[in-house]
Every structure is written in C-alpha cells, then in structure tokens.
Structure 1
Amino acid sequence: MIDTKKIDEVINQSGINLEGISIRNVGILAGKIEDALSIKYIRMDMGIPGLLAPDAGIEAHKAALNNADSAQYCSFAGTPELKEAGSRFIRTFLGKSIDPESIIPTVGAMHGCFVSIGLIASLYQGRDKIMTLDPGFAVNKLQAKIQRVGVECVDTYEKSGDALVEEIDRRLSEDTSIAALLWSSPCNPSWEVRSESELEKLAKVLERHNVTAIEDNAYFGFDSRRPGFLDPDDPDLAPSIMKYTDNYIALFSASKIFSYAGERVGFTAIGDALKDHRSQSLRKMFNQERFLDAFIQGGLYSIVASAPRSAQMAFASLLDFSSSGTFSIGDHLRPYSESAREMKRIFRKHGFDILYKEDSYGPVGDGFYFTVNHSGYSDGSLLLADMFRCGLTAVPLGIFGGGHPDGLRICTSLVPMHLMDEFDKRLSAFDALQ
C-alpha cells in the first residue's frame, strides 16, 4: 500500500501548486515523492521517448565527431548533408519538392518555433499576433509571451472538418492583426490529426487572409491509422499543409520520431512564398529584408546560432535511412501504439473516458499521447492529486488551453506492456479513493 498521507505531506512541503502545474514540475514532484517514500511511479507526464535510438544515427554521430574539426563553427544555415536529407525526406513522404536551401537545422523543433513566431509577428506592420489550435503544446504560448506576441485560440473540441475551417475563417476576418496559425499534428496533447480535406480548405483560407501556416510535425509518422504506419513500403505517413500552400513553416524534430531527444536536433522547412518574401520591417530589425536570411542571420544567430554539426549528421543519416526504405518509422513507433491501446482499455475499465475522442478520420489513433477525464472530477489538478496518491503521474489539460481543464494528458512512452498489470492495480487503488 502507498502511504497517501505521506504523499500529501511531500506535496504540501514542496511549494508546488498543482493548479496550473507545469509538465516539468509534475516530474520534479514525482521525484520528490519517490525519494521520500522509496517507491517508483508509473510516469505518464513528460514526453520522454521510451525506445532506443536507431544504431544508424548513433554511428553517424560518432563518425562525425571522429572526422570533423570540432574547433570550427558550423554554418548557421546548417550542414549540406542535413539540408539535402531533409529535402529528400519531405519529397519521399509528402511528395513535395523543396529546395535544400529552405531546410534550416535547429536545436529541436522548439528552437525553430520560437524563431518562427518572432519573425512572423515582425513581418507586417500592425500584425503582431498568432492564432493557435487548442489544446496545444503549452510552451508555444510561453514562446509567444516572451516575445510579446499576442495569442488568439480556437478550441478544437467537437470542432473539426468544415466547422473548424469556417471558425478559423470567421476569426481571421474579425481580427486582421493575426499573422500566423500554429498547430501540431498529431496534436500534443489531444492526438487529433488534421485531415487532408481540412488542410486543403484551410490553406485557401490562410492564403485569402495572407496568414502563414506554422505546422509542428514533431510527431510526424505517429498516426497508427495511416497506410504508411501499417506498411513500411507505403510512403503515406502523414497529411501536411505543405501540399496545399507555399506560405508555410513546417517544424520537424529527431526527438520523438527517432528517439533522439538527448541531442536536441531538428529542422525548419520554409515554403517558397515565404522564403523569398521581403519586408522592410525585417530590414529594420535584422538588416536583412528577405525572410530566409532574417530567419538565419537574425533569428537563429541571436539565440544559439546553429545545431551541433555531429547531431546534424546523425539526423541526416536517420532521415536518409527512412527515405531509402531501410528503416521503417511505423515499425519503430509501434510499441507506443500497443501501449496506448491497452492503457485506454484499462482507463475505461476504471471509469475514465477518453476526452478528445475523434478527429476527421474517426476515433483518434493510438500513439504517444491521449487525453482522459473522470466524471467525479471537474478540475484536472484535483484528478492529478488523486493519481499522485496511487503512484501515477499525468499532466492536467488546463495548461494546454481549450475548454476542458477537467482532463489529463496521458503519455504512453514510459509505460511498456510489461507494466500493464501494475498500472491496472494502481487504478484499482484510485477506485478505492472514490
């Protein structure tokens, strides 16, 4: 039995408020309780890959360290190897041709997103806001806040397809200060995927309002329903707005797709219509009026300049292994899908419901995240408190935006199949608290 009174003592003494608790603080608090009670939590909070990185990336990384002159700075624009590999990857899996010049290596997708938000909000006079689809990755709003960029939100709960596109169109018509629309697909945390039909119609709306699409593809290839996930020979891994407009910024990362999170490497792909756009506002800020030049020489340079050369070479190798068919992304990610399917079954068994159930393709896929709520709780932080008392962690949905702060985001990555019996037992302990 877990000592619930002792857990409450640790929570109270920690100084961490469960209301509005951040993802990182959930992990910190779980660590404090584990140390105090000598127990091991089942961790469903932070999105840490639970799979080993493919050997191809590690070997390329080591070779780059052995062969490169580490005294030399890497080009801000990135290594030719990663730029070309990123271009091939997009052409292979999205059927979209993109100039390697437009592939910009970054320190993970978050780095690319931070720069993108700041530059887009500086591109046009009087247009200093972005719009997000909520729920969404909480850090993106913090990135906007730090740069004093305004944020407007559209809740996707029970709103998809034409209804979602029409709502975005209406909101953009009413507020002409919005310069970009930002979303992730599959969505962190809801795991909704924006469909081809939605994206095609959305692209027309965004072009009509001259609004840039910022698409976060950190979980590219994770949708367990796609043909490419099920068949390694099928390149259909994901829909993308890149197919329907050239006014886009698309963010990619090695962290989740290839379990390469520790090396913090990704790339940003910039569409042709935006890459060559010239702005006097950018010239005043960065002495560069072309968007791509301002992104590299202004945005990247002013933060961390470039991703490490060796990590770029590892990422390039992993992308090329995927593009050539040597490595199957779907096969690599399948354990997450298996865990999600079983965890959902167990949650339902114990009276929970899947909160964000469907997108335009039907029931959401089984993957890295999903969302739950419980009829006995109207506040996700209170639900989290009782989860803590049973040796379980999660993240309250309130920090992700949207209209359902009663739920939790569940991450499947650190709950492999051999833990399912223990997971079931701990939810039985949760039942006893009701």
Structure 2
Amino acid sequence: MSLALSSQTNKLPSIDYVEKLFDSIVSANGGFNIEGFWSAIDEMERILGIPYVRLDFGVPGLTPSDICLSKHSDALLKGDIPHHYPPYSGLPKLCCEVSVFIQNRLGIACRGEDVFVTCGGTQALFTAQAIGAHLVENKHRILFLTPTYPPMMSQARFLGLQVDTLELDDLRGERLISKIHENFMQGDVAAICWASPNNPTWSVLDAYELENLAKLCRSYGVLPIEDLTYLGMSGAESNNDSIHFPSIAQYSDEYFLVLSTSKMLSYAGERIGFLIGSPALLNRKSSNLEQAMSTGIVRRACSSFIFNLTAGAPHSAQYGVAEAFAAINNGMTNLDQSLSVYSRRSEFLKSLLDQNGFYPVYDHEFNQNANGFYVCFGYPGLSGLELLKRLLSIGVAVLPLTVFSSLRNDGVRACVGRLDEQKINLLAKRLGRFSGEQNYAVGF
C-alpha cells in the first residue's frame, strides 16, 4: 500500500487522505463491487487502527435461538450425521416445517415436497433463474424490479441471459403494471424477479400490483420469482391467520418463492435457504428444459440442479433449523417479537439522520413498511459515492445505492443489523460531527 498513516503523525487523517486510501485499496482489489468494498473497509480498519461503525454489510445482529443451536449441536455430535451426505432436496422434517411456516405467513397451500433446501437464498435464486430461463424456447431475458440484491443480476448474466430493469421508486401501482406490460409484450421475457421486502428500499408490492402482475405472467408465459428473504421482518404479517404477507403466490398458479434463514433466524453462517415452487410449476413438463437438464419435469430439474451445484445443503444445520421453524409454527417462539428490534433500530437511525441534516431516499407513500433492516438516505449536495467517502472519514461505513442498480445516485444504504446500543451511541457521536463541508476527519 503506497499510502501510509505514519505520514499523518499527530494529526487526524484528512478527508483527502481517507478518500485516497479507500480508492487505492479498491483499485488494488480490482475495482468497486460489494465484495471488494467489504475487504477495503477491513483493510482501512487495520491501517487506521480504528474500528468503523459497520452499516455496510447486511449481517444479522441477533443471537440464534437456543432451540436451533441445541438441535444443530446434537446433530453434529451424533456421529452418523456429519459423515453422511444430506438428502439432496433437504431434510424431510425441515421441508415440512417450512411448508407450514409458508402456509401460516402467506395463507396459501404449501406441501413439504414442494420445498427444496439450498445453500442459502442465493443458491435458491440461482436455481430459480436457471430453471426459468430454460422453460420456453427463445426466451432469454429476465426483468428485475430494482434496486435489488446485486448477485441476482450477476447470476443472470453468468447464465448468459439478457438483463433488464425497472426502477420501482415512485413507479408503482398502475404505472408499474403498465411498464411491466410493455416489457412482456416484446415476447422474450422468461422471468421477472423481485424482492419483497425490497433490499435496500424495504418496499413491498401491494395486492393490486401482485394480482395484475400475476395476470400478465399468465398471459405472456413469464415465470414470477419472488425473493422473500426478509419474510417475518417487515411488520406487515404475523404468525396467525388474521394477517398474511402479500405474495404472488396468492394470485398465481405458477411461481418460485425464495426464503432464507440468514436474517430471519440469524443463521447466515450456516447457509440454509429454500426454493419453494407451486405444484403447477413443479409438475410442468418442458422439452426445452429437457435439452438443458436431461429432464423436462421442473421438480426433477430443481433437485438435479441443486445436487449438481453442491450435492445438498449443510446436513447438521438442517436439524437445528427444522427445530427452530417447528418452535415458530407451534407458538413456542415469537418470531415477530424477536425481530422487532430491527424496526426500532431503523426508527432510531432515521431520527438520528434527520437531526444531523440527512434526508431520506425512497421515502414516499408506497413505502409503508419503512422501518426495517435497511435505511436509505442522502446528504444535500453530495452524490452517493461522495457521501460514502465522507462518512468513511468519520468512521462510518455504508454502501452507495448505485451498487444495487438504483437510478438514485444521491444516496446510500445503511444496514441496522449490527447497530446495537453501544454502536448506536458511537454512531450518534460521529454523525453529530459530520459536515459535508469539513476539511478533516473529526476523530473516531
């Protein structure tokens, strides 16, 4: 590294120094992307000798339940489980419990045999896109509702698919449906993919949008892929039959749903996710799919694709996760209550940002579930990248919205996952010293 902090002896590092240090590390890592950014912040912490308030990485900040950890540990200690490959579609008990969870949360019929256990939600998304892209001949385009989780689009490009986007922001309701219709009319859209709640905006498609999207998908033979990674964290649903989270599954006969335990159960390190298909989709036969995957039946193609990628998902972890879902399903664990801490952190962060001259991004009437895992904000006169660098100079790490294929180049995303009470107090102190015009970092 050509830049050295020793040249700043007895002085706080200037914004210019911090920006050059950041640019130098990012360049050495091959350019700006999420993986490189996280490595850059780790390196800056080492060089500067000061820990950052890490709001950049979507890491859960809660401890996994004792029920989950205990059952996982028991499975590890039981000698005949670690040395066996897992069932390639997933542990039957886990698939069954997830199906019950989906029934409770979405108010739809769901069977254990329609649930596939994957190595995290990311593998589930990859599988869904790979299957969707081969269902119909001469359909090689996937439409993404953005901003969105970057690996989604990277996966599509890796699969050789054309990627198109529609920026949600204030494009909602009838205007959104109209724009989607225009895209579908071109005739080459294989699938449409979105997250609900959205990462990073935390917006949720409403009943009108989902119902009409389902109609368009049926009319034009487009596969809907709905990423429900943050199901249970939005405050828009509860574990009873009175309130159900809005989903495409309530309006469509054919769909893929993606679920993850990373944030919901704070089990990110164990890489357990789920791909859930509707019976009509999973029992569908496609000659085009058969040419690509040696089977034309979607259900078999899903199992085969997952097996060919990883030969299943982590075995012992599935026992712990199955027990965790069972506890949620039978009422022993109140998932909504345990995850509500993120909403409180989000609300506090927004108040803190408002007090210090920042403004909300993606803040409009459609974003009704705004207090969630992520917060988007900007600062007058600064682009997202400029704001990122200024925040780095006071020891705060965030991500620019452009990383998520957002058209808003004036904002950044903050994750409240690790923003515990100690970090909140530290963040309040650092933001209180922030100024878009300052010449020097003000100390960490």
Aligned mates of 2:31, 2:208 — CA distance in 1: 35
Q: Work out whether residues 82 and 316 of structure 2, in 8 Å CA contact, stay in contact via their aligned partners in 1.
A: no
Structure 2 counterpart SS, 1:3: coil
Whichever residue aligns with residue 340 of structure 1, its letter is S
Find 2:256's aligned residue among 249, 262, 277: 249
Q: Does 1:304 align with 2:336?
A: no
Moved more, 61-70 or 199-208: 61-70
- With normalisation by structure 1, the TM-score equals 0.93
Q: Work out whether residues 384 and 401 of structure 2, in 8 Å CA contact, stay in contact via their aligned partners in 1.
A: yes
Aligned to 1:375: 380
Q: Work out whether residues 246 and 273 of structure 1, in 8 Å CA contact, stay in contact via their aligned partners in 2.
A: yes
- With normalisation by structure 2, the TM-score equals 0.91
Q: Does 1:99 align with 2:111?
A: yes
Whichever residue aligns with residue 369 of structure 1, its letter is Y
Q: Work out whether residues 45 and 411 of structure 1, in 8 Å CA contact, stay in contact via their aligned partners in 2.
A: yes
Aligned mates of 2:344, 2:12 — CA distance in 1: 28
Q: Does 1:7 align with 2:18?
A: yes
Task: Map residues 32-431 of structure 1 onto 2, 5 A cutoff.
Answer: 32-67=43-78, 68-173=80-185, 175-224=186-235, 226=236, 228=238, 236=243, 238-297=245-304, 299-358=305-364, 360=366, 363-377=368-382, 379-431=383-435
In structure 2, stretches of 5+ residues that fail to align are: 1-10, 439-444
CA displacement, residues 73-102 of structure 1 (integer Å, 9 cap, x when unaligned): 222121111111111111122121122111
Aligned mates of 1:364, 1:14 — CA distance in 2: 36
Whichever residue aligns with residue 381 of structure 2, its letter is G
Aligned to 1:29: 40
Aligned mates of 1:31, 1:264 — CA distance in 2: 22
Q: Work out whether residues 18 and 381 of structure 1, in 8 Å CA contact, stay in contact via their aligned partners in 2.
A: no
**Distance change (3 Å), C-alpha of 1:252 and 1:227:** closer
Instruction: Measure how far apart 1:332 and its partner are.
Output: 1.2
Instruction: Measure how far apart 1:246 and its partner are.
Output: 1.9
Aligned mates of 1:395, 1:415 — CA distance in 2: 15
Aligned mates of 2:237, 2:253 — CA distance in 1: 25
Instruction: Measure how far apart 1:210 and its partner are.
Output: 1.3
Aligned mates of 1:69, 1:428 — CA distance in 2: 52
Q: Work out whether residues 148 and 405 of structure 2, in 8 Å CA contact, stay in contact via their aligned partners in 1.
A: yes
Whichever residue aligns with residue 343 of structure 2, its letter is S
In structure 1, stretches of 5+ residues that fail to align are: none
**Distance change (3 Å), C-alpha of 1:18 and 1:168:** farther
Aligned mates of 1:142, 1:176 — CA distance in 2: 23
The percentage of counterpart residues that share the same residue type is 28
Instruction: Measure how far apart 1:417 and its partner are.
Output: 3.1
Structure 1 counterpart SS, 2:54: coil
Q: Work out whether residues 141 and 191 of structure 2, in 8 Å CA contact, stay in contact via their aligned partners in 1.
A: yes
Whichever residue aligns with residue 333 of structure 1, its letter is L
Whichever residue aligns with residue 83 of structure 1, its letter is C
Aligned to 2:7: none
Whichever residue aligns with residue 193 of structure 1, its letter is V
Q: Work out whether residues 117 and 144 of structure 1, in 8 Å CA contact, stay in contact via their aligned partners in 2.
A: yes
Aligned mates of 1:17, 1:151 — CA distance in 2: 28
Instruction: Measure how far apart 1:274 and its partner are.
Output: 0.9
Q: Work out whether residues 49 and 255 of structure 1, in 8 Å CA contact, stay in contact via their aligned partners in 2.
A: yes
Whichever residue aligns with residue 422 of structure 1, its letter is L
Matched residues, number? 426
Q: Work out whether residues 220 and 237 of structure 1, in 8 Å CA contact, stay in contact via their aligned partners in 2.
A: no
Instruction: Measure how far apart 1:148 and its partner are.
Output: 0.7
Aligned mates of 1:383, 1:19 — CA distance in 2: 22
CA displacement, residues 127-180 of structure 1 (integer Å, 9 cap, x when unaligned): 01111001011111111111111111111011112221222122211x211111
Instruction: Measure how far apart 1:235 and its partner are.
Output: 6.0
Aligned mates of 1:247, 1:234 — CA distance in 2: 23
Aligned mates of 1:233, 1:323 — CA distance in 2: 9
Q: Work out whether residues 374 and 414 of structure 2, in 8 Å CA contact, stay in contact via their aligned partners in 1.
A: yes
Whichever residue aligns with residue 320 of structure 1, its letter is A
Aligned mates of 2:240, 2:113 — CA distance in 1: 28
Instruction: Measure how far apart 1:2 and its partner are.
Output: 4.6
Q: Work out whether residues 192 and 359 of structure 1, in 8 Å CA contact, stay in contact via their aligned partners in 2.
A: no
Q: Work out whether residues 107 and 244 of structure 2, in 8 Å CA contact, stay in contact via their aligned partners in 1.
A: no
Aligned-residue CA RMSD (Å) = 2.0
Aligned mates of 2:226, 2:318 — CA distance in 1: 21
Aligned mates of 1:350, 1:289 — CA distance in 2: 57
Aligned mates of 2:28, 2:133 — CA distance in 1: 33
Moved more, 419-428 or 232-241: 232-241
Structure 1 runs (4+) greater than 6 angstroms displaced: 17-20
Aligned mates of 2:206, 2:99 — CA distance in 1: 23
Q: Work out whether residues 251 and 269 of structure 1, in 8 Å CA contact, stay in contact via their aligned partners in 2.
A: yes
Q: Work out whether residues 54 and 398 of structure 2, in 8 Å CA contact, stay in contact via their aligned partners in 1.
A: yes
Whichever residue aligns with residue 13 of structure 2, its letter is D
